[in-house]
C-alpha cells in the first residue's frame, strides 16, 4: 500500500471536512456515514490516498466550485468582497453628483490672506470669522506674496488644520493651490484627504495653474500657459483617482504616479478650479466640480463656464460657484491702505502672474495702476445696505458662495461688522427668497 506524506494541519482540516460533507442517500443515516470514515492505517499518522480521492470526488458531485472555495477559505473571501465593495463605493464618492447639496447653498466666506498676515494671526481671524457666523474660509496658498510690501507667506494647509482644531462648523479650502510644480498632485491629494479626515464635510480644494512668483520661484520652471493648463487638468485627474482609495497606475503627458492613497477621504471633497479668462473659464466648467473666480471675470465670461459644463454633460445647477469680492469697512483712508497692498489686482493676470519677484510686481504696480482703478467695484463704507447689495447681486447672478476679502489692517472690524450687520440681513433676504 502506497503511503502519503504525514498529515499536516491543513490536510487534517481537509480530510475532516471531506468526511463530514459527503452527502447521504436515502438508505444512509448520519450514523452510518460517520461510522465509515476514510480508511486510515492504525497508529500510522498516514491516510490512504485512494480513500481521500474518493471522498473528494463525492464532495465535488455535491458542491459547486464556489461552494468549495467558500468552504475552504471561509471568512477570507468574505473579507475580500467587503473590501472590494468598499473600494467601489469609494471610487464613486467624488463623482460630481455626489457633491453634498449643502455646498450649493448660499454661503458667505471670509478670505484669509497669507500674503498679508502671519499664520498665528490668521488662525485667530479664522476662529473669529467662525464665531461671527461666516460659512467658510477661503485661504490663499502662496510661496511668496504678490507684492513685497504685503510681507508674509505662511503655509496654508497648516493654518487650515490649526483652525479646524479650534472650530466645529466653518468650512475651509484653498483659493487656490497650484498642484503642478512646487506641489506634486499626489501630495496635494494626500494632504487634503488627511484634512478631510480631520474635518469631514468641511474641506474643499481649490486649484489653479499658478503664478511665477510661487512656482518658478520654488522650482525654476515656468512654461507657457497651454502647458500649465494641461498640467492642471492632468493633476485634477490624478487627485480624483487617488481620492478613490484604489491603486492607480497613471502614465500621462506630464506625470507618472503608481500608488494608492491608503487613507482616502471619507466624504466627497469638492474639487474647485480657478478661472480668470475665457479659456480658463471653459476649462473649469469642463473639468472641475465648481468654479472660483472674481466678479469681473464672472460677468464677462460666465458663458464660457456654462459651455464647458454643457460640453462635459454636467448640470450647472450641481456646480458651486465661489466669487472673491473685495470690501472695505471704513472710509477713504482704509480703502487706500488696502489698495496699496493689493495694487497689482487689475493687472494680476496680464501680465504680473508671469513675474517671479514680488518686489518687481510692486514696483510696476506702483507706476502702472492708479489707486482708483484698484478700488473699482469695492463696496466701501459702514452702511450695511451697500455691502448687502453687492453680495446679493452676486448671488442673484448665479454665485453660490461669495467670500469677502478686505486688505485693510483692521480685519476684526470687518469680521464684526459683517457678523452683526451684513450676514443677518443677507440671511433674511435668502429666507424670503426660499
DSSP string computed for 16-60: HHHHHHSPP-TT--HHHHHHSPPPB-TTSS-B-HHHHHHHHHHHH
Tens digit of pLDDT for each residue in 56-100? 444 444 444 444 444 444 444 344 444 444 444 444 444 555 689
CA distances from 180 to 188, 352, 425 (A): 9, 19, 41
pLDDT of res. 433 = 81
- Evaluate whether 411 touches 403 at the Cβ level (below 8 Å): no
C-alpha cell at 322: 465661489
Of 46-60, 116-130, 289-303, the range with the lowest mean pLDDT is: 46-60
In CATH, 97-433 is 3.20.20.30? yes
Q: Where are the domains of the chain?
A: 9-73, 97-433
What is the per-residue pLDDT for 318?
Answer: 95
C-alpha 407/C-alpha 111 separation (Å) is 10
Q: Which is higher by pLDDT, 60 or 160?
A: 160
pLDDT of residue 39: 44
- DSSP string across 261-295: -SS--SS---EEEE--SHHHHHHHHHH-SEEEE-H
Least reliable range by pLDDT among 52-56, 80-84, 333-337, 400-404: 80-84
pLDDT, average across residues 159-178: 98
Contact 375, 335 (CB under 8 A): yes
Is there a catalytic annotation at residue 152? no
Among 98-102, 255-259, 278-282, whose mean pLDDT is lowest?
98-102
- 3-class SS of residue 349: coil
Active-site entry in 114, 115, 142, 215: 142
Q: Tell me whether strands 203-207 and 256-259 are parallel, antiparallel or unpaired.
A: unpaired
Annotated active-site residue 211? The verdict is: yes
pLDDT, tens digit, 9 for 90 and up, residues 11-40: 444 344 433 443 434 434 444 443 444 444
- Say how many C-beta atoms besides its own lie within 10 A of residue 255's C-beta: 17
pLDDT at 54: 54
Report, as an integer, the average pLDDT of 149-161.
98
Active-site residue among 115, 150, 190, 211?
211
Between 307 and 14, name the one with better pLDDT.
307
| Better-predicted residue by pLDDT, 75 or 274 | 274
More confident residue, 105 or 89: 105
pLDDT at position 48, please?
53
Amino acid at each position: 500500500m502506497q503511503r502519503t506524506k504525514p498529515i499536516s494541519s491543513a490536510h487534517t482540516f481537509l480530510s475532516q471536512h471531506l468526511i463530514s460533507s459527503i452527502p447521504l442517500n436515502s438508505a444512509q443515516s448520519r450514523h452510518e456515514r460517520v461510522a465509515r470514515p476514510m480508511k486510515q492505517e492504525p497508529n500510522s499518522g498516514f491516510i490512504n490516498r485512494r480513500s481521500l480521492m474518493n471522498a473528494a470526488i463525492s464532495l465535488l458531485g455535491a458542491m459547486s466550485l464556489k461552494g468549495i472555495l467558500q468552504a475552504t477559505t471561509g471568512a477570507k473571501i468574505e473579507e475580500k468582497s467587503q473590501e472590494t465593495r468598499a473600494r467601489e463605493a469609494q471610487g464613486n464618492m467624488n463623482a460630481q453628483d455626489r457633491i453634498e447639496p449643502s455646498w450649493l447653498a448660499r454661503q458667505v466666506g471670509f478670505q484669509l490672506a497669507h500674503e498679508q498676515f502671519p499664520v498665528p494671526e490668521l488662525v485667530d481671524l479664522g476662529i473669529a470669522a467662525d464665531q461671527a457666523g461666516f460659512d467658510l474660509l477661503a485661504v490663499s496658498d502662496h510661496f511668496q506674496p504678490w507684492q513685497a510690501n504685503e510681507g508674509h507667506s505662511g503655509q496654508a494647509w497648516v493654518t487650515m488644520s490649526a483652525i479646524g482644531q479650534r472650530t466645529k462648523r466653518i468650512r475651509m479650502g484653498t483659493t487656490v493651490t497650484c498642484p503642478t510644480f512646487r506641489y506634486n498632485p499626489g501630495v496635494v491629494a494626500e494632504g487634503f484627504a488627511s484634512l478631510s479626515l480631520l474635518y469631514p464635510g468641511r474641506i474643499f480644494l481649490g486649484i489653479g495653474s499658478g503664478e511665477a512668483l510661487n512656482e518658478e520661484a520654488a522650482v525654476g520652471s515656468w512654461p507657457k500657459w497651454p502647458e500649465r493648463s494641461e498640467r492642471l487638468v492632468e493633476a485634477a485627474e490624478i487627485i480624483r483617482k487617488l481620492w478613490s482609495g484604489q491603486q492607480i497606475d497613471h502614465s500621462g503627458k506630464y506625470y507618472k504616479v503608481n500608488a494608492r492613497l491608503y487613507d482616502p477621504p471619507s466624504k466627497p471633497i469638492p474639487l474647485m478650479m480657478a478661472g480668470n479668462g475665457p479659456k480658463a473659464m471653459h476649462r473649469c466648467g469642463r473639468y472641475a466640480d465648481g468654479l472660483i473666480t472674481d466678479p469681473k471675470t464672472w460677468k464677462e465670461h460666465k458663458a464660457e463656464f456654462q459651455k464647458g459644463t454643457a460640453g462635459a454633460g454636467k448640470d450647472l445647477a450641481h456646480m458651486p460657484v465661489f466669487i472673491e469680492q473685495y470690501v472695505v469697512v471704513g472710509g477713504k483712508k482704509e480703502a487706500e491702505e488696502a489698495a496699496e497692498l493689493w495694487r497689482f489686482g487689475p493687472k494680476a493676470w496680464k501680465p504680473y502672474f508671469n513675474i517671479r519677484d514680488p518686489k518687481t510686481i510692486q514696483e510696476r504696480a506702483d507706476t502702472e495702476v492708479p489707486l482708483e482703478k484698484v478700488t473699482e467695484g469695492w463696496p466701501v463704507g459702514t452702511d450695511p445696505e451697500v455691502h448687502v447689495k453687492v453680495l446679493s447681486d452676486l448671488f442673484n447672478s448665479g454665485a453660490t458662495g461669495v467670500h469677502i476679502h478686505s486688505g485693510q489692517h483692521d480685519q476684526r472690524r470687518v469680521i464684526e461688522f459683517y457678523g452683526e450687520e451684513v450676514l443677518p440681513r443677507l440671511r433674511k433676504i435668502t429666507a424670503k427668497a426660499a
